[in-house]
Amino acid sequence: MARLWDLRRRPLFHLVLWRLGCARAETQTTEAERDCLARHAAGGSRIAEIGVYHGVTTRRLKSVMDPAGVIVAIDPFPKQRLGFSAHRIIARRQVLTIKSGTVRWMRTTGSQAAKELLAENSRCFDFVFVDGDHSWDGLKSDWEGWRNLIAPSGIVALHDSRLTPIRSLEGAGSVLYVQQVISKDPCFVLVDAVDSLTVFKRRNDSAV
């Protein structure tokens, strides 16, 4: 059993098992975190997710957003040994099972996606879920790129951003950056926190 579990952790082997119906799409979010994300994203017409992985949360967000809305799914999806990304295949199939809404896939990092969207003058996102690089520098790049893309009263949710009894995140760059920088940003106010997820809302009087 241990040997099978080790093999399942390999992306290509997991893809085979998933195609055979012997494995599920994976996520590092808890059920409570996904419920929280869905609650805050409900009805949103412009949504973004940084860090798609297998598309579990992307699928959930797409299912609750405005049926005429757009979700931007951002992930570099690095290629594996055979020259393609097993994670990308699973994610796209997962998300396609939700027929409503439109998905814009951006195969890049969160910070690079922000630069491209700013260049297009694509602003005012209702909801952004940040679950990419959890190092201090990684979250710093995502935050500096995305904070001005969030509309007044818009929501930003950050994963692995607070300590939790079930996960050891002591000293994690993402936790420290939220504590020392984001929580002190005068344009945003804390509105929710579930497990390792922290949710902020942009103030109405905060211009984009």
pLDDT of residue 41: 98
Tokens found for residue 99:
């027929």
Domain boundaries, the chain: 29-202
CA–CA–CA angle 137, 139, 141 (5° rounding): 70
- pLDDT band for 206, please (50, 70, 90 cuts): low
**For the chain, how long is the longest CA-to-CA vector?**
56
Tens of pLDDT, residue by residue over 161-170, are 998 877 777 7
CA dihedral 103, 108, 114, 120 (to 10 degrees): -70
The mean of the pLDDT values for the chain is 91
Domain 29-202 CATH assignment equals 3.40.50.150: yes
- Over residues 12-37, mean pLDDT: 88
Of the chain, the end-to-end C-alpha distance in Å amounts to 53
